[in-house]
């Protein structure tokens, strides 16, 4: 195994792992607040990238304005989804909620086709697209942006949940919504915020990854599912689990593909699901989870 | 209850058996009959899913995989060995049953969202393998030259003969399912749906029954897959994607999970709808997604639930 190859695959693994981690965090945010697996999580990622391309490309707005507007619009979509389709269905069985969020995912993809068509788009890298040579490996500068922004967002979320009153209220509501109500927290409002924040995280992931992975109406499906695999790998509902699971899955995928015999790289998309099934069968609470799968 | 189910069964058989007759002389008759064939083909699968979801209370987002396994096993056996499609069909169904049994044992220990994601993961894994095993299928695009069913010298390739062949299998599947529902097994499945623990306490072998329901639904899907392969003569892996799994589940849920008639209603509507909305193809996904959300919001028991509720309301008034 040559070091430069290893570095190369490691770098792309960490890059894509950052995105998986962000998507997994979005899953956990909603799962903790509501016990729902949001099948439209990947669509937030897609919408983030698409809106950014639209604002910077078609409307020629500056990068930072486009960024803020994109994140805010996708956040609004997340909030709208909660108010429109989740809020009215309190206490519905899982199958109803699964169908609802799958319906939302299809609806959002359909709307994306109507607005932007079925073409693939990309963004220029924030600091150019010329690869940087690191110890023989060539790494896109955008990779550093993805990893950096991802790390900052993960850190900020962790601080928010641990040290702000609002973050504590969200965690309290997730831990025991009745007890939280007794101290004046509204679980319904926390649910709304969980969807909004989750959409915001997804949109940021979508924006920073678009210079590397082209975006199109269907790009969110696979990213969403892999993000879910990462969440399960780390332990559904666990913050650190999402981060660890995301990076682990990304690196595992890229290393496996990098060192697979010629002609076998097509199996890349099966790896995440095989890992997820193994975890679900052998240790359903994940690497860092708390272990209450059965009641789901 | 029992007699009413068999009455509906006979009415459906008569209806589906007679419906092609007035269509045959029409110029576009072949098209309509092919749409009807697809409806019956999917109905075979959704009948099984309805047993699994509505009766046993377990979800599967991976049934396109069993449909695909049935199609590929049957097609490969008939092309590579080669054996008669009439032998390939039971072999493919048996093979898929074994796979589904192996999958069911660990997967059905999971519940709710976890079960949904695990079955989805299984479906994705099968999809990737169907795609990558092109050395076996010989062509990256799919498997070509699958022979049709034949009776003596007569090849069943006309749309009418394919329709009635599907109809015959559909009838068998429906009869088996209706008898199952109205047996001790059906009551036990409903008990599992109501409450696992209570059913267990009453002497129902919960995990065994769940596995049996899962395998039966996979068998139905494989049967439909085999028929599909020999009708089309060509199969490609892209058919058996996640979206198909989702569509199948959606048919059951939109139609209504409370009984298998709901699944049939949902299958007929959701299969026919896109065929007649081709002028609005761009809107297909938006409409589909919106229907899923709206039905869940306003008729969580599905369309059949709406019909039944109205009837119950009328009875209450009377």
pLDDT of residue A295: 37
Closest chain A C-alpha to B24 CA, distance in angstroms: 36
From residue B95, alpha-carbon distances to A274, B80, B229 in Å are 21, 16, 16
Q: Which of A8-22, A28-42, A121-135, B211-225 has the highest mean pLDDT?
A: B211-225
Predicted confidence (pLDDT) at residue A230 exceeds the cutoff of 90:
yes
Q: Where is pLDDT greater, at B45 or B292?
A: B45
Q: Summarize pLDDT for B167-224 with one digit per residue, the tens.
A: 999 999 999 999 998 888 888 888 888 788 888 888 888 889 999 999 999 999 999 9
For residue A47, which of A94, A81, A24 has the smallest C-alpha distance? A81
User: What is the secondary structure of A257-286 as a DSSP string?
Assistant: HHTSPTT-GGGHHHHHHHHHHHHHHH-TTT
Tell me the per-residue pLDDT of B278-308, one tens digit each, with 9 for 90 and over: 777 778 889 889 988 999 999 888 888 888 7
Sorted by where each begins, the domain ranges of chain B are 2-241
Best to test chain A binding among B105, B114, B258 (most A CBs inside 10 Å): B114
ipTM entry: 0.89
Give whichever of A281-290, B15-24, B32-41, B137-146 has the largest mean pLDDT.
B32-41
Comparing alpha-carbon positions, the chain B residue that sits nearest to A37 is B113
Q: Is A290 inside a domain boundary? A: no
User: So what's the pLDDT on residue B230?
Assistant: 95
Mean pLDDT of A103-119: 93
Residue B310 has pLDDT above 70, yes or no: no
Q: Does residue B240 carry a pLDDT above 70?
A: yes
- Residue A291 pLDDT exceeds 60: no
Judged against a pLDDT cut of 80, whether residue A263 lies above it is answered with no
Q: What is the pLDDT of residues B206-221, one digit of tens each?
A: 889 999 999 999 999 9
- Cα A42 to Cα A153: distance, rounded to the nearest angstrom: 18
Set of chain B residues whose Cβ sits within 8 Å of the Cβ of A261: none
Specify the pLDDT at position A132.
86
Higher pLDDT, B299 or A263: B299
The residue of chain B with its CA nearest to that of A117 is B282
Query: Which one of A88, A94, A108 has the shortest CB-CB distance to B112?
Result: A94
pLDDT of residue A93: 84
Is residue A2's pLDDT more than 80? no
Choose, out of B62, B113, B270, the residue to mutate when testing the contact with A (most A CBs < 10 Å). Answer: B113
Residue-averaged pLDDT of chain B: 89
**In this predicted model, what pLDDT tens digit does every residue of A81-103 receive, in sequence order?**
999 999 898 778 888 888 999 99
| Closest CB from B107, B117, B253 relative to A95 | B253
Chain A residues touching residue B61 (CB < 8 angstroms): 98
Any CB–CB contact under 8 A between B248 and chain A?
A: no
Identify whether A39 is part of a domain. yes
pLDDT at A116: 92
The answer to whether residue A294 scores a pLDDT higher than 60 is no
% of chain A beyond a pLDDT of 70: 97
Instruction: From chain B, pick out residues whose CB is under 8 angstroms from the CB of A110.
Output: 283-289
Confirm if B209 and B188 have CB atoms less than 8 A apart: yes
How far A165 CA sits from the closest chain B CA (Å)?
Answer: 30
Tell whether the model's pLDDT for residue A1 goes beyond 80.
no
Beta-carbon separation of B288 and A96 below 8 A? no
Cβ distance of B124 and A225 shorter than 8 Å: yes
CATH number of the domain bearing residue A46: 1.10.3470
Segment A22-48 shows an average pLDDT of 92
pLDDT at B304: 87
**Paired sense of beta strands B154-155 and B150-151, if any:** antiparallel
Predicted local confidence at residue A288, as pLDDT: 76
The pLDDT score that the predictor gives to residue A227 is 95
Residue A229: per-residue pLDDT: 95
Q: Give the residue-averaged pLDDT of A34-47.
A: 92
Chain B residues within an 8 Å CB radius of A270:
124-125, 128-129
Chain A partners of B283 at a C-beta cutoff of 8 Å? 110, 114
Confidence of residue B82 (pLDDT cuts 50, 70, 90): confident
Interface A–B counts its CB contacts (< 8 A) at 134
Prediction pTM value: 0.91
Contact A241, A286 (CB under 8 A): yes
The count of structural domains within chain A is 1
pLDDT of residue B146: 92
Nearest-CA residue of chain A relative to B127? A270
- The domain in which residue A182 lies consists of 3-282
Tens digits of per-residue pLDDT, B12-40?
999 988 888 888 788 878 888 999 999 99
A109 CA to chain B: closest CA distance, Å? 7
Q: What is the rounded average pLDDT of the residues A136-150? A: 88
Instruction: Report if residue A295 sits inside a domain.
Output: no
A296 and B112 in contact by Cβ < 8 A?
yes
Q: CB-CB: which of B114, B249, B287 is closest to A280?
A: B114
Q: Name which of A94, A96, A114 is nearest B296 (Cβ-Cβ).
A: A96
Shortest Cα distance, chain A CAs vs residue B246, angstroms: 8
Out of B50-59, B97-106, B130-139, least confident range: B130-139
Q: DSSP for chain A?
A: --HHHHHHHHHHHHHHHHHHHHHHHHHHHHHHHHS---TTHHHHHHHHHHHHHIIIIIS---HHHHHHHHHHHHHHHHHHHIIIIIGGGTT--HHHHHHHHHHHHHHHHHHHHHHHTT--B----TT-SPPEEETTEEE-HHHHHHHHHHHHHHHHHHHHHHHSHHHHHHHHHHH-HHHHHHTT--HHHHHHHHHHHHHHHHHHHHHHHTTTS-B-TTHHHHHHHHHHHHHHHH-TT-HHHHHHHHHHHHHHHHHHHHTSPTT-GGGHHHHHHHHHHHHHHH-TTTTT-----TT-
Q: What is the pLDDT of residue B312?
A: 62
Instruction: Tell me what pLDDT residue B318 has.
Output: 47
> Taking CB atoms and an 8 Å limit, are A104 and B242 in contact across chains?
no
B249 in contact with chain A, both atoms CB, cutoff 8 A? yes
> Which residues from chain B sit within 8 angstroms of residue A280, using beta carbons?
106, 110, 114, 117-118, 121
Closest among B250, B246, B255, B265 to B302, alpha carbons compared: B255
Name the band, by pLDDT with cuts 50, 70 and 90, for residue A290.
Answer: low
Residue A294 in any domain: the answer is: no
* Nearest residue of B to residue A101, measured between CA atoms: B293
Percent of chain B with pLDDT over 90: 53
A87 to chain B: which residues are within 8 Å by CB?
Answer: none
Contacts of B257 in chain A (CB under 8 A): 95
In this predicted structure, the answer to whether residue A296 has a pLDDT above a threshold of 60 is no
pLDDT level of residue B259 (50, 70, 90 thresholds): confident
Instruction: Among A226, A271, A273, A275, pick the best mutation site for testing chain B contact (most B Cβ within 10 A).
Output: A273
């Amino acid at each position: 195994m040559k070091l430069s190859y290893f570095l190369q695959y490691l770098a792309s693994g960490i890059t894509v792992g950052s995105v998986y981690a962000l998507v997994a965090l979005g899953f956990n945010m909603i799962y903790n607040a509501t016990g729902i697996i949001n099948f439209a999580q990947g669509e937030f990622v897609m919408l983030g990238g698409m809106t950014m391309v639209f604002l910077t490309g078609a409307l020629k707005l500056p990068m930072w304005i486009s960024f803020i507007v994109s994140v805010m619009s996708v956040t609004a979509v997340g909030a709208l989804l909660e108010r429109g389709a989740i809020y009215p269905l309190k206490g519905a069985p899982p199958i109803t909620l699964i169908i609802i969020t799958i319906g939302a995912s299809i609806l959002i993809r359909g709307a994306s086709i109507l607005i932007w068509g079925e073409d693939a788009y990309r963004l220029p890298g924030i600091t150019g697209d010329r690869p940087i040579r690191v110890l023989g490996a060539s790494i896109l500068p955008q990779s550093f942006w993805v990893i950096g922004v991802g790390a900052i967002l993960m850190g900020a979320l962790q601080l928010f949940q641990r040290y702000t009153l609002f973050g504590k209220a969200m965690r309290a509501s997730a831990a025991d919504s009745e007890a939280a109500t007794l101290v004046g927290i509204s679980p319904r409002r926390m649910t709304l915020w969980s969807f909004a924040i989750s959409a915001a995280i997804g949109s940021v992931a979508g924006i920073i990854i678009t210079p590397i992975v082209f975006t199109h109406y269907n790009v969110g499906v696979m990213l969403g599912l892999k993000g879910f695999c990462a969440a399960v790998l780390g332990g559904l509902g666990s913050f650190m689990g999402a981060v660890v699971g995301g990076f682990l899955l990304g690196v595992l995928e890229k290393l496996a593909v990098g060192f697979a015999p010629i002609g076998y790289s097509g199996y890349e998309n099966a790896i995440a699901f095989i890992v997820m099934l193994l975890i679900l069968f052998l240790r359903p609470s994940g690497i860092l989870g708390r272990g209450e799968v059965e009641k789901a | 209850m029992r007699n009413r189910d068999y009455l509906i069964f006979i009415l459906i058989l008569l209806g589906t058996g007679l419906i092609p007759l007035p269509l045959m002389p029409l110029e576009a008759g072949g098209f309509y009959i092919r749409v009807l064939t697809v409806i019956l083909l999917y109905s075979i699968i959704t009948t099984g899913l309805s047993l699994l979801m509505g009766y046993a209370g377990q979800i599967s987002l991976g049934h396109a995989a069993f449909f695909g396994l049935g199609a590929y096993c049957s097609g490969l056996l008939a092309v590579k060995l080669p054996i008669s499609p009439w032998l390939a069909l039971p072999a493919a169904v048996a093979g898929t049953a074994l796979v589904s049994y192996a999958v069911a044992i660990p997967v059905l220990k999971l519940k709710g969202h976890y079960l949904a994601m695990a079955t989805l993961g299984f479906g994705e894994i099968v999809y990737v393998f169907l795609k990558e095993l092109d050395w076996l299928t010989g062509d990256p695009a799919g498997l070509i030259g699958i022979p049709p069913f034949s009776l003596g010298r007569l090849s069943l390739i006309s749309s009418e003969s394919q329709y009635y062949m599907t109809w015959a299998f559909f009838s068998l599947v429906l009869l088996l399912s209706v008898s199952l529902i109205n047996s001790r097994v059906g009551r036990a499945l409903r008990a599992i749906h109501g409450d696992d623990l209570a059913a267990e306490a009453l002497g129902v072998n919960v995990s065994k029954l769940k596995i049996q329901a899962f395998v039966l639904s996979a068998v139905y899907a494989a049967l439909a897959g085999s028929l599909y392969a020999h009708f089309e003569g060509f199969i490609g892996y892209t058919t058996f994607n996640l979206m198909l799994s989702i569509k199948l589940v959606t048919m059951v849920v939109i139609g209504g999970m409370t009984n298998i008639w709901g699944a049939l209603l949902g299958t007929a509507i959701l299969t026919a709808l896109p065929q007649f909305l081709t002028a609005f193809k761009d809107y297909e996904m938006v409409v589909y997604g919106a229907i899923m959300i709206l039905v869940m919001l306003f008729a969580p028991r599905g369309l059949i639930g709406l019909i039944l509720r109205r009837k119950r309301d009328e009875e209450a008034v009377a």
